[in-house]
Structure 1
Amino acid sequence: MHVKFCGFTDVADIHTATQLGVEAVGLVFYPPSPRAVTMEQAKTLITAVPAFVSVVALVVNMSHEALVELADNVAFDIIQFHGDENPEQCQQLANAVNKRWIKALRINAEQDTLDSVSARIDGFAAAGASSILLDAYHQHKYGGTGARFDWSLIPHHSSLPIVLAGGLDAQNVAATTALPIYAVDVSGGIEAAKGKKDAAKMRAFMKAVKRDRWQSVTVTDAI
Structure 2
Amino acid sequence: MEAALDAGADMVGLMFFPKSPRHVSLSKACKLADMARGKAEIVAVTVNMDPDGLSRIRELVNPDMIQFHGSEAPEALAAAKVMQGTKVMKALSVGEREDLERARYYSIVADWILFDAKPPKDSELPGGNGVSYDWTLLKDLDLEKPFLLSGGLDPANVGDAIRQSGVKAVDVSSGVERDKGVKDSERIRAFVAAAKSA
Q: TM-score, normalised on structure 2?
A: 0.91
**d(CA) in 1 for partners of 2:139, 2:159:** 19
Q: Structure 1 residue 131 and structure 2 residue 115: aligned?
A: no
Say whether the 8 Å CA contact 2:138–2:166 is kept in structure 1. Answer: yes
Q: Find the counterpart in structure 2 of residue 22 from structure 1.
A: 9
2:58 — aligned with what? Answer: 71
Q: Is the contact made by 1:26 and 1:57 (CA closer than 8 Å) also made in structure 2?
A: yes
Q: CA deviation at 1:201?
A: 1.0
1:173 is matched with: 158
Q: Alpha-carbon deviations, 1:63-111, whole Å to 9, x = none? A: 01111122111121100000000111111122111110110001133xx
The one-letter amino acid of 1:197's match is K
Partner in structure 2 of residue 159 of structure 1: 144
**Partner residue in 2 for 1:145:** 129
What letter corresponds to residue 90 of structure 2 in structure 1? K
Determine if contact 1:42/1:74 at 8 Å carries over to the other structure. yes
- How much has 1:209 moved relative to structure 2? 2.0
Quick check: 1:18–1:50 contact (8 Å CA) kept in 2? no
CA distance, structure 2, for counterparts of residue 146 and residue 67 of structure 1: 26
SS at match of 1:71: helix
Distance between the aligned counterparts of 2:37 and 2:27, measured in 1? 19
- Structure-1 separation of matches of 2:139 and 2:192: 25
Counterpart contact for 1:121–1:160, Cα < 8 Å: no
1:161 CA displacement? 1.5
Unmatched runs of 5 consecutive residues or more in structure 2? none
Q: 1:152-192 deviations in whole A, cap 9, x for unaligned?
A: 32252223212011010111111133223231000111111
How far, CA to CA, are the matches of 2:50 and 2:56 in structure 1? Answer: 10
Structure 2 contact 5–39 (Cα < 8 Å) conserved: no
Distance 2:179 2:107 in 1: 35
**Is 2:22 the counterpart of 1:40?**
no
Number of residue pairs matched by the alignment: 193
Q: What are the ranges of 5 or more consecutive residues in structure 1 without an aligned counterpart?
A: 1-13, 213-223
How much is the aligned-residue C-alpha RMSD, in angstroms? 1.5
SS state at 1:26 partner: strand
Distance between the aligned counterparts of 1:124 and 1:50, measured in 2? Answer: 27
Give distance in 2, aligned partners of 1:177 and 1:151: 8
Match of 1:202 among 165, 184, 188: 188
**Which residue does 2:91 correspond to in 1?**
104
State the structure with more CA Rg: 1
Alignment partner, residue 6 of structure 1: none
Identical-pair percentage: 35
In 2, Cα distance between equivalents of 1:103 and 1:22: 20
Query: Matched residue of 2:171: which SS?
Result: strand
What TM-score results when the alignment is normalised by the length of structure 1?
0.81
Q: Paired residue for 2:43, among 56, 60, 72?
A: 56
Which range is displaced more, 50-59 or 147-156? 147-156
